Amino acid sequence: MRGIASNVASVSASGIRRFFDIVADMKDVISLGVCEPDFVTPWRLREACVFSLERGRTNYTSNWGLLSLRKLISGHLKSLYGVDYQPEDQILVTVGVSEALDLALRAVVDPGDEVIVFEPCYVSYAPCVTFAGGTPVRIPTFAEDGFLPRLDDVRAALTPRTKAILLSYPNNPTGATAGREFLKELVEIARDADCYVISDEIYDRLTYVGTHTCVSSLEGAAERTILLNGFSKAYAMTGWRIGYAAAPPDVAEAMMKIHQYVALCAPITAQEAAVEALNAGEQSVREMKTEYNRRRRLIVKRFNEAGLKCGDPGGAFYAFPSVKETGLTSEEFAERLLYEKKVVVVPGGAFGECGEGYVRAAYATSLDRIEEAMARVAELVASLPGTAGDT
């Protein structure tokens, strides 16, 4: 029998999954590993789904998604960021942002094309570039730069094969945010290189420091930007698998062409709930953001008190503390924390080589559980030779 496709065989399984598999059989574990809200989807959104079922709304929608939803997404982006997307041919409703990313890459990447990826980053970025037939070009980012790429490094990475720059701010796993001036310079680099910008802005509403800048709102950006977003994080709708892409008409059409053959459409009940989210979910977004912000301040304070240097994440719901002071690798620290203290964090190396020396801790859990988890972290750090707590 012939082997597995080389572009699939060359990609390793996610480094996150092993820890979750171990946790499944353990008791009294506090997980700071999951990347989803601990809030239940607001009732009005769930009710919209129930009402849709009661009315027998179980049919396919347009490949593009419900026009009513696309119109609301268009208005939402216009209201928040002043960007204009035509709902008829520039907005595509997808099965989560993960599908939107896959569609975007497959729509624009030819075999051998290069896509610049800033690491640490979400685990699927480089693999999805590879699955699309492209070559990920990894640019490391560093804590001293706020986990933003150095623009000279970006320029140096450009080649005639560069097809896109893939970015995500606020960032998973670091919580880093990017200011308007920085993003303007990045867009100028993309314009000079005549390449696309694929901007995953799924955490846009969870920005705590400053204000979020939508990349396509910048001068000269809309014509080359593929904007990815969705409802998973801000509206606590991870399991609904509902996202969207907004792009120039030709790119959106190409993405829709792939989507219609591999997924056909996003589930209509999830689309109905997303309609309600945009119509009536704003108060819930604000309340969840306020609570995340309280947790953010607490977890950063506790990591630093424990002797693990942790910068202030400006967005998303992740802290990314350094564990270099412990003398352990990221994976060693995560394993000891799991087995000895029953707290789950994710080794930073899972998000790229430059993530080594850090761990990702999601504060998408209650304040009480964060307090208990951080007490256990402090106990482990104090027990390690060479740390501040060692006696």
Handedness of CA 91, 93, 98, 99 (dihedral sign): negative
pTM, two decimal places: 0.94
Of 109, 37, 30, 5, the C-alpha closest to 281 is 37
| pLDDT for res 12 | 79
35 pLDDT tier (thresholds 50, 70, 90): confident
* SS3 letters across 173-192: CCCCCCCHHHHHHHHHHHHH
| pLDDT for res 110 | 97
Given a cut of 70, is residue 61 above it in pLDDT? yes
Say how far apart CA 359 and CA 348 lie, in whole Å: 5
Given a cut of 90, is residue 199 above it in pLDDT? yes
What fold is seen in the domain 6-41+283-381? Aspartate Aminotransferase, domain 1 (3.90.1150)
Lowest mean pLDDT among 20-24, 180-184, 219-223: 20-24
Percent of the chain with pLDDT over 90: 89
Say how far apart CA 100 and CA 198 lie, in whole Å: 10
Q: pLDDT digit string (tens) for 116-139?
A: 999 999 999 999 999 999 999 999
| pLDDT for res 389 | 46
| pLDDT for res 15 | 65
* Mean per-residue pLDDT over the chain, rounded: 95
Arithmetic mean of pLDDT, 302-313: 97
Given a cut of 80, is residue 26 above it in pLDDT? no
Given a cut of 70, is residue 195 above it in pLDDT? yes
23 pLDDT tier (thresholds 50, 70, 90): low
Q: pLDDT digit string (tens) for 360-380?
A: 999 999 999 999 999 999 999
Lowest mean pLDDT among 29-43, 76-90, 98-112, 302-316: 29-43
166 Cβ neighbours under 8 A, 6+ residues apart = 115, 116, 117, 118, 121, 125, 129, 198, 200
| pLDDT for res 6 | 85
Given a cut of 60, is residue 388 above it in pLDDT? no
- Helix or strand (DSSP H, E) at 325: none
| pLDDT for res 203 | 98
Say how far apart CA 45 and CA 51 lie, in whole Å: 10
What dotted CATH number matches 57-281?
Answer: 3.40.640.10
Arithmetic mean of pLDDT, 201-216: 97
Percent of the chain with pLDDT over 70: 96
387 pLDDT tier (thresholds 50, 70, 90): low
Domain ranges for the chain: 6-41+283-381, 57-281
| Helices marked H in 174-311 | 180-193, 249-262, 268-280, 282-305
115 pLDDT tier (thresholds 50, 70, 90): very high
Instruction: Retrieve residue 171's tokens.
Output: 């960032």
Lowest mean pLDDT among 29-43, 178-192, 252-266, 313-327: 29-43
